[in-house]
Structure 1
């Protein structure tokens, strides 16, 4: 009897974790993280990008690792399409450091 209860508990936990992970599919990219992206935008909704000079300043203030990660994410077609202007600017800068 205890084995059945443990098995059912484990299955319930696995199902809850699966649902939680499935629901978090949106916003898994660093490019969806307001804390990382706000330096590049003039508004909280991240719709209006800052000037080229301000963008470059924010880009250069990032760590090499963060810049590389964002460049990698911009290499993904779906992510790049969702963040078109941002990815165009990162490509123009070429990951410059």
Structure 2
């Protein structure tokens, strides 16, 4: 009976650890990375987007790799819907597929 309890406890612990690790991730989208997205917003809660010129300046300050990743994410309908205003701005800059 003791070995069963140890096995069940170990299984429960591993399941909880996996859930905690998953909850701590920033998401698979570059658009979910606060460090990369902060320059596009005027507030720390990232609710108010910067003006067109400021947005363009932040966009051009990104690496080509980051811009490519964000363009790809904006091409995904589900991700684009969650980041609607950002993706609209990148399309205006000719930056989204």
CA RMSD of aligned residues (A): 2.8
TM-score by length of 1: 0.75
1:1-97 to 2 correspondence within 5 Å?
A: 11=11, 14-22=14-22, 24=23, 27-28=26-27, 29-95=29-95
- Runs ≥4 in structure 1, deviation > 4 angstroms? 7-14
Unaligned stretches of 5+ in structure 2?
Answer: none
2: CA distance, partners of 1:93 / 1:25:
33
2: CA distance, partners of 1:46 / 1:31:
12
TM-score by length of 2: 0.75
Unaligned stretches of 5+ in structure 1?
Answer: none
